[in-house]
Amino acid sequence: MRILFLGDVVGRPGRHVVAEHLPRLRRDFALDFVVVNGENAAGGFGITEAIYEELLEAGADAVTLGNHAFDQREALVFIERAPRLVRPANFPKGTPGRGAALVEAQNGAQVLVVNMMGRSFMDPLDDPFAAIDRELEACPLGLAADAILIDFHAEATSEKQAFGHWCDGRASLVVGTHTHVPTADHRILPGGTAFQTDTGMCGAYDGVIGMDKEEPLRRFTRKIGASRFEPAAGPGTLAGLAVETDATGRAVAVAPVRIGGDLSPALPGFW
């Protein structure tokens, strides 16, 4: 399978760059499955139903979330009728929505998409290591799913890397989101799981993690906030990770994808 994961979509610049480039990537690379993290898509905080539909129309097969999953209050309601919208599986019992979804790929394969949230420097949710064990035992790779893609939304690089090793051999891909800066450690772990500590964001990099730089600078230098954070208005960069899997569902190739904006461009050489 040919799989593309796109990092956190931040505000209008992120939505525009995804809408501009994802349809072409889907066509030119004959992608089988695309996952987009949309938790910052609505003005930098949360997601609306209209934006969720917009991401699907651009070419996403599933949309994952994170700590801002319910910042837009309508998400508490529409997530129940959005089968391909996946919030962290380790939210408390009774939280609306689903933490995993089995979605059919373009080639007919069954793909399990799981969203999980870390606990280091984050809200104290349920143990993500125990939670992912339950998901992987219920839908094992090669038996119930042809591919398994895990979005680990976490702050600490150590927790993300530990989580990747914990899932190695049991998932096709474990990719970190949340910190919005792409790391240079994309690789295939010994058990065949593709991994990157953080895939970066789809948004404007001439700011502070996708936000207009003036308010973060004011808070860092004066310790007093004057206004709410707003997404940076510069040109957006599409940042993601390309993965190719074999018949077992394990990764055989992995490479970063970066298009537009301020970062150096990158495309997979194996497609």
Which residues are known catalytic residues? 68
Complete edge-to-edge strand list for the sheet that includes strand 110-117: 100-104, 110-117, 147-153, 173-177, 194-196, 187-188
From residue 40, give the alpha-carbon distance in Å to each of 2, 68, 192, 215, 260: 25, 7, 30, 17, 19
Rounded Cα–Cα distance for residues 87 and 203 (Å): 21
Show Cβ contacts of residue 169 under 8 Å, excluding neighbours closer than 6 positions: 189, 190, 191, 192, 193, 250
Of 183, 116, 118, 122, whose CA–CA distance to 149 is shortest?
Answer: 116
